[in-house]
Amino acid sequence: MSKTTIYDVAEAAEVGIGTVSRVLNNSEKVSDETRNKVLKVIKELNYYPNGMARGLALQRTNAIGVMVPSFIDHFFVEVLRGVQAGLNQFDLDLVLFKVDKEEKDKHINRVLQGRKVDGVLAITLDLTKEEVNKFKELDLPLVLVDDYQQDVNSIFVDDIAGVKKAISYLIELGHQRIAFFDGPLESNHGKQRLEGVKIAFAEAGLEFDEQLLQEGDFTVESGYQSMKKILDVEERPTAIFAASDDQAVGALEAIKEEGLSVPDGFALIGYDNIELARYLDLTTVSQPMFKMGELGIETLAKLIYSKQDDLIKKKIEPKLVIRNSC
């Protein structure tokens, strides 16, 4: 029972393997009679075609790769769920590749050259132009999710719009001194979000005090440290805007340690709308993560299986979810 091949089926059905292959691939050129005969044998023998062999012959794997940073958090889980939901419409396998920042090149090469997938979804990977080019050279379809690049298919959220919504809201509430806990300034998100902050201030006729900018890395610990520093500033801000909910959570801890609370001591806004935010009653910028995953694979599938080659870009609008932290 260990391995039924197309030859076994052909023999049992008393036809050639070509015919079996045809019914397998729904070719029209088979008489109903033989088709049924073959189908019956296939069922009896519980036969399924070997994926590797089919891949080799077809030059197609029927699988898509999803590259994610080694750091798996709520964000990716949501995106992954979206990917899976989208995957249901197609008959594709999902290969998960973890990409360490330290060994980015090695990991990318592996995905690229192993040729085990027909296309790749790169989630929040901050790929460089050079890295993206490798995909082009090898003609492997690529879609960036939560990342953006000039001439690459991208599904991304309008960072600047999201940030502006948050800052504007705080300003409306009367806040003028607002601290901003950003992610790494060399990351796309870090840059974009800082720019958004500046724009929002400018549009309100105010100026952002760079003293109140803290560079961090989206983690709880980072938010905690940033808040500690802000508490030491001579003229404290009245509001905190964190570039991730995790950072907001960290900030909250530091605020509590100081004997203060939210929103009385500080107004606080996060980013991402992770599940925890609801329980903490944290106002935050919501990113449609599930949707991004879904759109991502839909886009990729289109690229791969309908040979579309025009650039596909989808910008998604984030929403401000207002709760009681400011």
Task: For the chain, state the CA radius of gyration.
Answer: 26
Given a second copy, DNA, none, residue 43, with its beta carbon under 5 to 8 Å by kind, binds none
| Residue 268 near residue 252 (C-beta atoms within 8 A) | yes
Residue 3, C-beta contacts closer than 8 angstroms, at least 6 positions apart: none
Residue 112 contacts a second copy per CB under 8 A: yes
Residue 21 interacts with DNA (CB under 7 A)?
yes
Count of CB atoms within 10 A of residue 1's CB?
5
Residue range at the interface with a second copy (CB under 8 A); choices 1-9, 232-240, 263-271, 299-307: 1-9
To 5 degrees, how large is the angle CA 120–CA 313–CA 187? 70
Mask 217-256, x = binds a second copy (CB under 8 A)?
----------------------------------------
281: left (phi over 0), alpha (psi -120 to 50) or beta: left
> Is residue 40 within a helix (H) or strand (E), and if so which, with residue range?
helix 32-45
Residue closer to a second copy (CB basis): 161 or 274: 274
Q: Are 208 and 167 in contact (CB under 8 A)?
A: no
Kindly indicate which of the ranges 110-118, 121-129, 194-202, 286-294 contains the residues binding a second copy, using the contact rule CB under 8 A: 110-118
Q: Which two tokens stand for residue 188?
A: 């796309």
* Contact window for DNA (CB under 7 A) among 5-13, 82-90, 289-297, 306-314: 5-13
Show the site string, 44-73: x = touches a second copy by CB under 8 A, - = not.
Answer: --xxxxxxxx-xx----x-x------x-x-
Contact 182, 192 (CB under 8 A): no
- Residues in 118-177 that interact with a second copy by CB under 8 A: 137-139
Q: Report the nearest approach of a second copy to the CB of residue 129 (Å).
A: 17
Work out how close the CB of 100 gets to DNA at its nearest, in angstroms, rounded to a whole number.
Answer: 24
Q: Using CB under 7 A, which of 1, 43, 46, 59 touches DNA? A: 59
